[in-house]
Amino acid sequence: MSMTKTKTSNEKKSDDKNVPAAKNEKRSNPRHREAIDRKEKTAEQPAETPAAARPTVTMNDSNLLASYANLCRVSSTPEELILDLGLNPNPYSQTDTTVQLSQRVIMNHFTAKRLLAALSVTLQRHEQAFGVLEVDVNKRVKTQ
């Protein structure tokens, strides 16, 4: 007795997927034609959308908590940039000081780069209006 197995229509379809189609079949295949049409339509569209077409982002600051920081520690992982913010009660201290960190901001590097650009522009405008900012605390302290 020999047993032969007949293939179901689903099995035939799966076998057809593994066999490369002839070049003539690609041209006449309606699915292939639809894919080409979609690619052509995408290529015809402009790469950038006009500013008027962009959605508006509205910010709700009703639950915003404000805090003051005069100390910032920056650390990083391959995926994220971490900013730890705190208040140094005595930045002019000549002794060891423990600073209580109060906020941690974690962002991806793309957001960090946009933040860097925004802070840079803001600081340049401030220095143009009020003069250069000295970041070394010891140089800012006036001796009596």
pLDDT tens for each residue of 12-21: 444 444 444 4
Burial of residue 49 (number of CB atoms within 10 Å: 0-12, 13-18, 19+)? exposed
79, 108 Cβ separation under 8 angstroms: yes
Separation between Cα atoms, residue 105 and residue 135, nearest integer Å: 22
pLDDT: which is higher, 15 or 105 = 105
Distance of CA 121 to the CA centre of its chain: 20
Its pTM stands at 0.56
Phi, psi of 85 (to 5 degrees): -115, 145
Phi-psi region of 131 (alpha: psi -120 to 50; beta: other; left: phi over 0): left
User: Would you place residue 44 in the very low, low, confident or very high pLDDT band (cuts 50, 70, 90)?
Assistant: low
